[in-house]
Amino acid sequence: MKRLLALLLVSLFTLAAAQGQLEIFSWWAGDEGPALQALIDQYQGMYPDVEVENATVTGGSGVNARAVLKTRMLGGDPPDSFQVHAGQELIGTWVVADRMEDLTFLYKEQGWLEKYPAGLIDLLSAEDGIWSVPVNIHRSNVMWYNPAKIAELGISVPTTWDEFLSSCSSVQAQGVTPLVMGENWTQQHLWESVALGVLGPDDWDALWSGDLAFNDPKLIKVWDTFGEVLACTNDDAAGLSWQQATDRVVSGEAAFNIMGDWAAGYMSTTLGLTPGEGFGWAASPGTEGVFMMLSDSFGLPKGIANRDNTLNWLRLLGSVEGQDIFNPLKGSIAPSFDSDLSRYNAYSQAAAADWKTNRVVGSLVHGAAAKEAFMSQFATVLEIYLSSNNAGSAANAAQAIASQVGVGQ
């Protein structure tokens, strides 16, 4: 009893004592912000005297945030904590540069080693440390649609890319875009779903272990299929954000979109649609039974001004309470085994069931599969394909980058 009282006093003292600032850096800006805001509100309730700065840099998938982060990290001005994908995005860049603190002590203190899937902890670990705390698990390979529109078009949701391609011209003839696409990174996002559908999970994994070359004939087939799919997309892709592409599915201007399940968060939280009614979903063609995952995480940079406040932030986002506040709004699921699924909508419950039973592979575009050096140069490979329409050139360019950065080593 005495011990309990002492513990209570200590924790009350810690809560009350937390002061100063906390800067949280991410790309969850604007209509992508509600989940983060809910987590920050929770933090503010616990630590009312801490001044939280929600520093966001707009741009889906972190395309702009990563550049700003680089400038700040290299300039000796790290944010207290920043969003980063679990995997090589952090490890290959900031851990190898010795800019991050090892968080193994926090994992032990919080009992997280037993609370998160071992595969996820592996992804967060390297160089004898665990380098960030995951707040979610997103799925990349999802095809979204508007059920009423699909019925009106007289088509079914395709389970293979061949099926999709066979209905493409009939959808176009009805004045509807078969597949809406947005700016460059969303095109890479589409590519990874096409690649997974064409290659299957074993060959997808073989790419990242270095056992399958990027210019293997199987990859030529991927680029050729990608080219056929592109012919069924909108002409103004370069000017659309991922949200604007999603909007076209919701309005019925487009039949399908391939996007990660932050689109479910956007459609349910921001647009107020009910999963299964306002929007439908399926594994992207050819990937049923495979869950292409990615995870957003936050770390502890070395040399920050507000280390204690940051540790409390990490404790919150790693906790089941924090994750069950954040993820129902975000469209993702909680890494924690203790997550309360009754707090999630029908889409997320389905994703959680798939996460448990599916074959899990990592996303390229969202940092899980390959070194950041490969991922960031993949935008150029895509440009090469778009300008040349030549599968061989794209495949060779990808292989050249893979050899240069040492994919699989």
Using the rule CB under 6 A, give the single segment among 9-17, 25-33, 152-160, 171-179 that binds ligand GAL. 25-33
Identity of the residue, 196 or 294, whose beta carbon is nearer to ligand GAL in the bound complex: 294
Which token pair is 100? 């991050």
Contact 373, 402 (CB under 8 A): no
Of the residues 82, 103, 137, 138, which one makes contact with ligand GAL according to CB under 6 A: 138
Closest separation between CB of residue 136 and ligand GAL, Å? 7
Of the candidate spans 59-67, 247-255, 312-320, 401-409, the one that interacts with ligand GAL by CB under 6 A turns out to be 59-67
* Structure-derived torsion over alpha carbons of residues 340, 262, 96, 303, reported in degrees to the nearest 10: -70
Q: Does 139 bind ligand GAL (CB under 6 A)?
A: no
Least gap, CB of 128 to ligand GAL (angstroms): 26
Q: According to CB under 6 A, which one of 107, 164, 223, 262 is a site residue for ligand GAL?
A: 262
Query: What is d(CA 352, CA 387) in angstroms, rounded to the nearest whole number?
Result: 39
Choose which of 23, 296, 354, 372 interacts with ligand GAL (CB under 6 A). 296
Q: Pick between residue 22 and residue 57 the one whose CB is nearest to ligand GAL.
A: 57
Selected binder of ligand GAL within 43, 47, 60, 297 (CB under 6 A): 60
Instruction: Identify whether the C-beta of residue 99 lies closer than 8 Å to the C-beta of residue 259.
Output: no
Provide, rounded to whole angstroms, the least separation between the CB of residue 97 and ligand GAL.
Answer: 21
Using Cβ positions, the residue closest to ligand GAL within the complex turns out to be: 60
Q: What is the DSSP string of 34-89?
A: HHHHHHHHHHHHH-TTEEEEEEE--SGGGTTHHHHHHHHHHTT---SEEEEETTHH
Question: Quick check: 294 binds ligand GAL (CB under 6 A)?
Answer: yes
Q: Which among 14-22, 60-68, 96-104, 216-224 is the span making contact with ligand GAL, rule CB under 6 A?
A: 60-68
Stretch of residues binding ligand GAL (CB under 6 A), selected from 56-64, 88-96, 277-285, 370-378: 56-64
- Residue 218 or 330 with smaller CB distance to ligand GAL: 330
> Where does this chain touch ligand GAL (CB under 6 A) — which range of 58-66, 217-225, 248-256, 382-390?
58-66
Query: Considering only residues 64-103, where is the footprint of ligand GAL by CB under 6 A?
Result: 85
Of the candidates 261, 259, 253, the one whose C-alpha atom is nearest the C-alpha of residue 190 is 259
Token pair, residue 183, equals 């700016």
How would you label 234-243 residue by residue, b for 16+ Cβ within 10 Å and e otherwise? beebeebbbb
- Interacting residues with ligand GAL between 161 and 200 (CB under 6 A): none
Give the CA-trace dihedral at 105, 310, 123, 330, to 10 degrees. Answer: 140
Nearer to ligand GAL, 89 or 397 (CB): 89
The DSSP result for 215-256, as a single string, is TSHHHHHHHHHHHHHHTTB-TTGGG--HHHHHHHHHHTSEEE
The single residue among 18, 39, 62, 269 that binds ligand GAL, judged by CB under 6 A, is 62
| Distance in Å, CB of 236 to ligand GAL, minimum | 20
Count Cβ atoms below 10 Å from residue 396 Cβ, excluding itself.
Answer: 17
The length of the chain in residues reads: 409
Write the DSSP symbol of residue 146: -
Closest to ligand GAL by CB, 61 or 287: 61
Q: Which residues bind ligand GAL (CB under 6 A)?
A: 27-28, 32, 60-62, 85, 138, 242, 260, 262, 294, 296, 366
